[in-house]
Structure 1
Amino acid sequence: MKSAGLTSPYPTQQTPVFLVQGESDALTPEHRLLVNQAYADFSRMIEYLPEHDQQRVHTAFAFAERAHSGQYRNSGEPYITHPIAVAALCSQWHLDAPALMAALMHDAMEDCGVTRQDIEGLFGDDVAELVDGLTKLEKLEFHSREENQAQSFRKMLLAMAKDVRVILIKLADRTHNMRTLSVAPRNKWGRISRETLEIYAPISNRLGLNATYRELQELSFQHLHPWRYQTLSKAVEKVKSRRRGMADRIQAELEKAFAQRQLKVRLLEREQTLYKVYLQMTSKGLSFAKVSDIFGVQVLCDSVTDCYTGLGVVHQTYRPVPGYFKDYIASPKPNGYQSLHTSLLGPSSVEVEVELRTEMMHVVAETGIAAHWLYQSKGLDRMLADSLNGRWLESMLEIEHSSNDASDFLSDVKVDLHPESVYVFTPKNQIVTLPIGATVVDFAYAIHSNVGDHIAAAQVNGSVVSLRTILKNGDTIEILTSDDARPHPGWLEFVKTGRARSRIRNQLKNADQQETLGLGHKLLSQAMRVAGYADLPETSEFSQAVWQQLAVLHQGKSREQMLQEIGLGRMIASELVTQIGQLLQGMGLKPDALVLSKERLMTSGGAPVVLAVGGADGAPVRYAACCRPLPGDVIVGLLISGKGLEVHRKECSVAARRLKKDTSTAMPVEWSDEPVGDFEAAILLNLRNSKGALAEASAVIAQSEVNILRIDMLEEGRLEAIEIRITVALKDAEHLEQLLKSLRRVRAVQRVERYLAE
C-alpha cells in the first residue's frame, strides 16, 4: 500500500479528519460524526503525552483511517472505530506514543495490504516492530486452523517477550472484540470465548492486569454460557439487594474500628465476578446458596506496617475463619501481586473476604505490568523489573529456542500461564517460584538448563527423593548432577513447567538424531565393506569429492542428512553404496580385494554380520510395542521407513507379516553381551475378582524389583474373574520368568502369562 498524500509524519492539525487527496469522504454524515466523536474523546485521553508525541499519534490515526476506508464491522460501524477503541484502552495505561500508534494501525498489515516497509518509512522501526508483532500469520499456508492459531500465538508471544507493549495492545484488542462479540455471528462465540479463557485471560492474570483479567473472564462466560450467565446474574442481584444492609453494616463497623485506632485507611467493596462464582459451584459441587465468597472488602493502607496492624484490627472486629489467612506481601505472587488475605465471620455467620494492601500495591494488583507506564515517576521500575514477570517473559525466548513445533510451543506456554505457585528454596536460601505440582526436575531446570539436563539425584530437606517428587511450600532442594546423566522421556509425564518440558523434548530430539545418524553410519559402513571398500575418511579428498557428487544426485542433501535417512530406513544403504562405488571407480579407486575377501570370510557359512543392540555402545533401535522383546529373546530387526531400526521377537506375527511383504527390510541383530537399562514387557493376568487381589499381585511385582508402567482392565464388572494387562519394566527375559513364577504362587491369580499382540 502506498502512502500518497502523507508527506510528513507530523501534520499541523490537532485532531485531523483524514480525507484521501482527490476524493470525498466516503462515510455517511452519521458515521463521520461517530468517528469524529470517538477520536475526539481519545485525543483528550492522550493529553498526558508531550505535544510532539500527540502529533505523531494523530498522523498514525490519519494513516489508519485511510487504510481501513470502506471497511465496516459486524455492527455496521466504520472499522476505524475499533482501532480507536483499542488505542483508548491503551491510553488508560498511559502507554507511550509508539504503542498508541501501533494500536491504531494494529490491523493495517493484516487486513489492508500495508507492508512493514510502509509503516517503517513513515513512523520508524519501533512502531513497525510493534505492528509486525501484532500481525497474525494469515498469509502462510498451514495444515489446520489449530496450526495457524499456534503459529500466530508463537509470533505474538515471542514479540511480547522482546517488548511487553505488544501483549498490552493485544489484550486491549481482545478486550474490545469481546465487548462487541454480541454482534458477531453466533457460531463464532464459542471458539473466540474459549480462546480468550485459555490464552488471553491467563496472560493478563500472569502480567498482573487484574481488571482486564476479570473482564475477559466475565465476557467469555457470558458468551460461552448465555443462559447460565443470565440465571446467575439474576441470582446475584437478588443476593445483593438482600445483603446490601449487611454489607453497609460491615463496612461501617470496620471504618469505626480503624478510626478508633487512628489508622488511616480507604475501604473499597469488592464484588466477585459471576465467572468465579460459577467456577466455585462447578468445581466444588456447590449450590448457589452455599457460595459465600460473593462480596468482600479491600482495605488500602498507607504503609506495609499499617497493613499488618490493620489485619489485627479486622481480626479484633470479626472472628477470623481458621486456615484462610494468606500473606502475599511477604511472598508475592509471580505476577507481582501483594496483599494480605483473610476471611471473617460477619453478621449472621456470613463469611466476608478481606484484602489489605498499600495504595501502590493496589495499583499493581489492578494494572500489573502496565503500572510501569502509569507510575514511571514513583519509583516503581525496580519493583517491576524484579517482580512483574520479567523472568517469565524471558522464558518465552528459551521455550522458543527449544521448541521446533509451533503446537508444542503453544502447549508449553499454556503450562506457564497458571498463577498458582509454590515457593521453595535453594541451599543458599534463594526463593524459587514454581507452579503447584512442580517436581524436582522442574526445580532443576528453573535453576539452569544444564542443571536440568544433567540431574542425577536430589535431596529435599536433606533426604534423598525421587526425581518425580512434587515440591511443597518451604522445601529446600539440592540437586546432584553428573556429566553422564541425560534427560529421560519419562520425565515428560510429570514435569509441570513449559521451560522444563520444552528443554527435555529438545534434548531427546537431538539425542534421537545423533542415534539415528550413528545407525546410518554403521549400516553404510557395513554395506561398504560388503562391496569391498573401507570407510571413507571424512577429511579425505576422495570422501569430499564423493559426497559433493552424491549431493547433486540427491537434491542437495548433505552427508549427515543422507546418513539420517539411512538410519530412518528412508534410504537403502546398499543402493547408496552402488552409487558410491561407481563414483570411486570413476576416480580410479576399485574395490579392495583384501577387504572383500575378509567380508566374504566373515559372512561365510550362513553367519551374516549382525548389529548388537541393547548395550551401552549398541546400535540405536526402537523396541516394537507389539511384542516387546527382552534380552534373552531371539530377535529380528526391521528397517521401518521414517522410524529406523525396529527390533521384534522372532515369533512376532507383526514382524512376519512385514517381512512377507518386503524381505529387504530385514536386518540381522543380536543382543549385546551386557544389556543395560530396563526393558518393557507386558503380562496377561487372570485374577479372581475379590477384595485386595490386585493389591496382593502388585505387591509381589514390587518385591520382584519390577516397576509397573501401566495397568489395563480388559474385563471388569461383576465377573468371578477379571483379566488385566500389566506393562512392566525389568532387566531381561530371565527376570520376567522369575516374576511369572512369583505371581503364579499368589492365591488370587488363576493364570498369568507373557502378553504378545496378535
Structure 2
Amino acid sequence: MIDVEDLIALVRNYNPKTNADLIRRAYEYGRKMHEGQKRHSGEDYFTHPVAVAAILTEQRLDDATIVTALLHDTIEDTKSTWGEIAGMFGEEVAELVDGVTKLTNLQLSSTESKQSENFRKLFMAMSKDLRVILVKLADRLHNMRTIKSLKAEKQARKARETMDVFAPLAGRMGMQYMREELEDLSFKVLNPEARSSIIRRFITLQRETGDVIHKITADIRLELEKEKIEADVYGRAKKPYSIWRKMQEKQLAFSRLSDIYGFRVICRSEGDCYRILGAIHRRWRAVPGRFKDYISQPKSNGYRSIHTTVSGRDGKQVEVQIRTRQMHEVAEAGVAAHWSYRDGERAQNPFAVDPARWIATLTERFDNGDDHDEFLENVKLEMYSDQVFCFTPKGDVVQLPKGATPIDFAYAIHTRIGNACVGAKVDGIRVPLWTRLKNGQSVEVITAAGQRPQATWIDIVATGRAKSAIRRSLREENRERFVKLGHELARVAFEHVGKKATDKALRTAAKTLGLPDETEVLARLGSAELTAREVIEAIYPELAAQTADEVDSRRPVVGLAADQSFRRANCCQPVPGERIVGITYRGQGVVVHAIDCPALAEFEEQPERWVDLHWHAGRHAAAFPVSLNLTIANGAGVLGRICTLIGEQMANISDLTFVDRKPDFYRLILEVDLRDAEHLHMVLKALEAESDVAQVERIRDLSRKP
C-alpha cells in the first residue's frame, strides 16, 4: 500500500501548493473507518481507496477529488456519515463521496428496464459534478486490475458491465488510455483464449521483423530533424482488444491486419502539427480515406489531433497522431483536464472542455425521451459512436455519429426539417436517404410540406435524437388507429388466456411496464412496439406462455390488405425477427424485402410502391428458406456431420449444390428452412464452431430476381 507521504509526493509533483494536511487527515480517517475490513484477495481493504487516489493523481486532479477517492467507500461500507465527513472535510467532499456512493449502488448490468432508469440516475449524478464519475472510473479500473480474486461468475459479470458501460463512458469523456485498459482487462476475463492468441502472434511477429517500433520511431525523428522541427515521438503496439475488435469488424486474419502499431508526435505549436504532417506525407505514402483533422474539427469532449495512416517501413501501415503538448494533455485526461493542476495552479488549457457544457450537450437530447428504454437506447448510441463532420450548404458544421444518414443530418438541424425530409443531396448528387455519410461531405436536405416521417426510418437512422423524434411523430399521427387496433389485439389475447382486457387490467399493465396509462399500452400494442404476450406477462406472468401460439405460415406478415398476395424477395430472403418492408408489383402482389436490402435503392423515387410491414408476433414454423455459402474440408464423413449438425438445430436442408471442388476443400450452397433470425443465428454459430467448416456465410445476392 502507498504510504500517505508518498501519495502527497505524487500530488506535489503537479500541485506544490496542495493541502497536505487535508490529505493526511483523510488518509488516517479512511484507514480508521476501514480497519479490520479485507478485500477478496485478503489484503487490507484500505489498499483499494489509496490505489484509486493514486490513479487520479495521474490525471493531476484537485485535492477535493483525491480526498474523495480516499473516502469514497466510507459512507457505504463503514459507520461514517455524510454529516461527519462534511464536518471534517467540508461539504464539497461530502457531496462528492455521497455521489460516488449512489453510483456504486446502481446495478448497471441489471434488467433492461431497471438498467435504463439507472443510466438516467448516472447521468443526473454526472451533471451535478463530473468528478464523481472520474472517481468511479478510477475505482472500476483498480477493481478490474485486481479482479482475479473474485469468483469466475462475478468476474464475468463485472467484466461485461465494464465493457458495456464504463469503458465506452471513459472513451466518450476523452480518457482513451483508461478506455483501452478497461476494455483490455475485460477482454482478458471474457475471452482469454483470443487475447492470448493475439499476444502469441505479436511475439512471433517481433521475432520475425525485429523491433519495428524502435525503427519507425527513428525514421520519423530523422524526417523531423531534416525539417528542423522539435518534437517528441512515441510508438506502441495497439492493445490486444483493439486488434481483436478490428479483426472482427473487418473480418481479417491477424496476418492481413494493417496498422497494429500507433505513433504519436507531440510538438510545440499548431503550425508545427501541419509541418510535421507534410514531412510524413512527403516521406511515406498516405493511405486514402485514413486522414482525420480533429484540430480544425475538434470532438465534443475537446479532443484535438491530426490522424493519418501511411505505408511505412517494409510496406507496413502505421497510424500517426500529431498534436501539441496542450492537446495531448486533453487527449490523455479528456474532460478531466478541466480540473488539472500544474505548479500549484489550475491549468489554463485552452482546449479543455467546460464539464458543465459538455454534460449539457450530452443530456439535452434525452430530455424529451418518452420512456426509460428509449433514454437507454439514446445513451448507448451516443456513448458508443465515433464521429463524422458534415457541412450545410452555407458551410456550417454538423457533428454526427459514425453511420449517420441524411435523415440524421436533417434532425440534427431541427426536428421540423427532419419530419419534412423527402430527399437529400450529398456533394450536389441526389442520394438515397439511407446513405451513410462520410467526413467532409456537404449535405442539402430536400423538404416538402405535408411530409411525415416513415416507420422504416427508425431502422435507417443512427442518432438517438432522430429515433426519438420519428417515434414521437409516428405515435401522434397514427395514435387513434393504433389504439383501436391495440384494443382488438388485447381483447383477443386476453380471451385466449381466459381473461378480459378491462381498463383496470390495462392500467395495471401500464404501471408494470412504466407507461403513463392504458391508452398508451393500446397505442404501443397497435403499433407493434409492444406484443400481446408482453402485456399479459406484465399482469399474469404464469399465463403468458399460452399466447406464444404458432403463427399461420400462410399469413406471417402484418400490414397487407386482405386481397394482397405476398412473397419473400430472393435477393435478401428476410426471416421473422428482421425488419421488413414491402414493394408492390403490378399483378404480382407484394414482395417482402429486408429493410437493409440494397435492391431497395431502385425504388427510392417511387414511395407509392412501399408498404410498411412487420412479422406476426409468436412462434413461426420453420418454413423460411435461407441460402448459406459453406466451405468445408474434403474428408470422409464431413458432409454427413454437417447435415447432422443442422438437423440437431431442428432445421431442414431443402437444397444442396456443390459450387467448387478442390483437393482440400469443397464449396457448396445449402438452402435451409428456418423459423426466424434467432434460429438462423443458432445454425450459423453451430456451423462456425465445427472444426471442418472453414467458412460459413448467409448469401444475399442482388443478381437473383426479387
TM bucket (normalised to shorter chain) is 0.5 to 0.7
Q: Out of 52-61 and 180-189, give the one that drifted further.
A: 52-61
What is the CA–CA distance in structure 1 between the aligned matches of 2:86 and 2:179, rounded to whole Å?
32
Matched letter for residue 612 of structure 2: L
What is the CA–CA distance in structure 1 between the aligned matches of 2:366 and 2:573, rounded to whole Å?
48
Question: Alpha carbons of 1:401 and 1:243: their partners in 2 closer, same or farther (altered >3 Å)?
Answer: same
Task: Name the SS of the counterpart of 1:437 in structure 2.
Answer: coil
Paired position in structure 1 for 2:330: 364
2:401 is aligned, of 417, 435, 453, to 435
Q: Are 1:325 and 2:260 matched, yes or no?
A: no
Task: Name the SS of the counterpart of 2:611 in structure 1.
Answer: strand
Task: Name the SS of the counterpart of 1:325 in structure 2.
Answer: strand
Paired position in structure 2 for 1:104: 70
Matched letter for residue 93 of structure 2: V
Paired position in structure 2 for 1:180: 146
2:130 is aligned, of 130, 140, 164, to 164
Q: Out of 467-476 and 142-151, give the one that drifted further.
A: 142-151
CA deviation profile, 1:116-147 (whole Å, cap 9, x unmatched)? 34433443332232223222478799995555
Matched letter for residue 11 of structure 2: I
Paired position in structure 1 for 2:364: 398
The 5 A counterparts of 1:483-494 are 491-494=457-460
Deviation at 1:371, TM superposition (A): 2.4
CA deviation profile, 1:4-24 (whole Å, cap 9, x unmatched)? xxxxxxxxxxxxxxxxxxxxx
Paired position in structure 1 for 2:202: 236
Paired position in structure 1 for 2:7: 42
Task: Name the SS of the counterpart of 2:310 in structure 1.
Answer: strand
Matched letter for residue 380 of structure 2: K
Q: Is the 8 A contact 1:205 1:419 kept in 2?
A: no
Q: Is the 8 A contact 1:194 1:224 kept in 2?
A: yes
Paired position in structure 2 for 1:86: 52
Q: Is the 8 A contact 1:258 1:310 kept in 2?
A: yes
Question: Alpha carbons of 1:50 and 1:261: their partners in 2 closer, same or farther (altered >3 Å)?
Answer: closer
CA deviation profile, 1:435-465 (whole Å, cap 9, x unmatched)? 02223443344345x6468656575457888
Task: Name the SS of the counterpart of 1:94 in structure 2.
Answer: coil
1:351 is aligned, of 317, 322, 330, to 317
Deviation at 1:375, TM superposition (A): 5.5
Matched letter for residue 41 of structure 1: D
The 5 A counterparts of 1:403-414 are 403=369, 405-414=371-380
Deviation at 1:52, TM superposition (A): 7.0
What is the CA–CA distance in structure 2 between the aligned matches of 1:64 and 1:403, rounded to whole Å?
41
Paired position in structure 1 for 2:189: 223
Deviation at 1:98, TM superposition (A): 1.8
Paired position in structure 1 for 2:612: 709
Paired position in structure 2 for 1:256: 222
Q: Is the 8 A contact 2:206 2:212 kept in 1?
A: no
What is the CA–CA distance in structure 1 between the aligned matches of 2:582 and 2:472, rounded to whole Å?
40
1:384 is aligned, of 352, 357, 362, to 352
- What residue ranges of structure 2 are gaps of 5+ in the alignment? 486-506, 508-515, 529-534, 539-546, 548-557, 575-580, 591-602, 616-621, 627-653, 657-670, 676-704
Paired position in structure 2 for 1:634: none
The 5 A counterparts of 1:547-626 are none
What is the CA–CA distance in structure 2 between the aligned matches of 1:142 and 1:325, rounded to whole Å?
36
Task: Name the SS of the counterpart of 2:384 in structure 1.
Answer: coil
Matched letter for residue 608 of structure 2: E
What is the CA–CA distance in structure 1 between the aligned matches of 2:163 and 2:408, rounded to whole Å?
25
CA deviation profile, 1:665-694 (whole Å, cap 9, x unmatched)? xxxxxxxxxxxxx97647764769989999
Question: Alpha carbons of 1:426 and 1:319: their partners in 2 closer, same or farther (altered >3 Å)?
Answer: closer
Deviation at 1:97, TM superposition (A): 1.9
Deviation at 1:77, TM superposition (A): 0.9
Task: Name the SS of the counterpart of 2:608 in structure 1.
Answer: coil
Q: Out of 124-133 and 213-222, give the one that drifted further.
A: 124-133
TM-score, length-scaled by structure 1: 0.62
Question: Alpha carbons of 1:705 and 1:124: their partners in 2 closer, same or farther (altered >3 Å)?
Answer: same
Paired position in structure 1 for 2:666: none
Question: Alpha carbons of 1:484 and 1:135: their partners in 2 closer, same or farther (altered >3 Å)?
Answer: farther
Paired position in structure 1 for 2:649: none
CA deviation profile, 1:185-233 (whole Å, cap 9, x unmatched)? 1112222112212221112112221211221121111111122222321
Q: Out of 215-224 and 465-474, give the one that drifted further.
A: 465-474
Deviation at 1:181, TM superposition (A): 0.8
Q: Is the 8 A contact 1:684 1:724 kept in 2?
A: no
Matched letter for residue 39 of structure 1: V
What is the CA–CA distance in structure 2 between the aligned matches of 1:704 and 1:459, rounded to whole Å?
15
Question: Alpha carbons of 1:58 and 1:364: their partners in 2 closer, same or farther (altered >3 Å)?
Answer: same
What is the CA–CA distance in structure 2 between the aligned matches of 1:247 and 1:569, rounded to whole Å?
60
Deviation at 1:363, TM superposition (A): 2.1
Alignment root-mean-square deviation, CA: 4.7
Question: Alpha carbons of 1:326 and 1:396: their partners in 2 closer, same or farther (altered >3 Å)?
Answer: closer
What is the CA–CA distance in structure 1 between the aligned matches of 2:519 and 2:572, rounded to whole Å?
48
Q: Out of 274-283 and 394-403, give the one that drifted further.
A: 394-403
What is the CA–CA distance in structure 2 between the aligned matches of 1:682 and 1:94, rounded to whole Å?
69
Q: Out of 439-448 and 67-76, give the one that drifted further.
A: 439-448
Paired position in structure 1 for 2:270: 304
Q: Is the 8 A contact 1:454 1:484 kept in 2?
A: no
What is the CA–CA distance in structure 1 between the aligned matches of 2:148 and 2:22, rounded to whole Å?
34
Deviation at 1:477, TM superposition (A): 4.7
CA deviation profile, 1:642-683 (whole Å, cap 9, x unmatched)? 99xxxxxxxxxx9xxxxxxxxxxxxxxxxxxxxxxx976477
Deviation at 1:74, TM superposition (A): 0.8
What is the CA–CA distance in structure 1 between the aligned matches of 2:59 and 2:607, rounded to whole Å?
64
CA deviation profile, 1:460-500 (whole Å, cap 9, x unmatched)? 45788877665443344566889988777655433322344
Deviation at 1:321, TM superposition (A): 3.5
Deviation at 1:80, TM superposition (A): 1.2
TM-score, length-scaled by structure 2: 0.66
Percent identity over the alignment?
Answer: 35
Question: Alpha carbons of 1:349 and 1:485: their partners in 2 closer, same or farther (altered >3 Å)?
Answer: closer
What is the CA–CA distance in structure 2 between the aligned matches of 1:624 and 1:499, rounded to whole Å?
20
Deviation at 1:86, TM superposition (A): 0.8
Question: Alpha carbons of 1:681 and 1:468: their partners in 2 closer, same or farther (altered >3 Å)?
Answer: farther
Matched letter for residue 298 of structure 2: P
Matched letter for residue 157 of structure 2: R
2:464 is aligned, of 498, 515, 525, to 498
Q: Is the 8 A contact 1:685 1:724 kept in 2?
A: no
CA deviation profile, 1:544-602 (whole Å, cap 9, x unmatched)? xxxxxxxxxxx9xxxxxxxx9685799xxxxxxxxxxxxxxxxxxxxxxxxxxxxxxxx
Q: Out of 68-77 and 300-309, give the one that drifted further.
A: 300-309
- Kindly tell me the number of residue pairs found equivalent between the two proteins: 550
Q: Are 1:132 and 2:98 matched, yes or no?
A: yes
Question: Alpha carbons of 1:93 and 1:566: their partners in 2 closer, same or farther (altered >3 Å)?
Answer: closer
Q: Are 1:289 and 2:198 matched, yes or no?
A: no
What is the CA–CA distance in structure 2 between the aligned matches of 1:117 and 1:567, rounded to whole Å?
46
Question: Alpha carbons of 1:352 and 1:72: their partners in 2 closer, same or farther (altered >3 Å)?
Answer: same
Task: Name the SS of the counterpart of 1:417 in structure 2.
Answer: helix
What is the CA–CA distance in structure 2 between the aligned matches of 1:438 and 1:688, rounded to whole Å?
28
Matched letter for residue 163 of structure 1: D
What is the CA–CA distance in structure 2 between the aligned matches of 1:66 and 1:187, rounded to whole Å?
32
Q: Is the 8 A contact 1:130 1:166 kept in 2?
A: yes
Matched letter for residue 6 of structure 2: D
Question: Alpha carbons of 1:381 and 1:514: their partners in 2 closer, same or farther (altered >3 Å)?
Answer: farther
What is the CA–CA distance in structure 2 between the aligned matches of 1:516 and 1:565, rounded to whole Å?
15
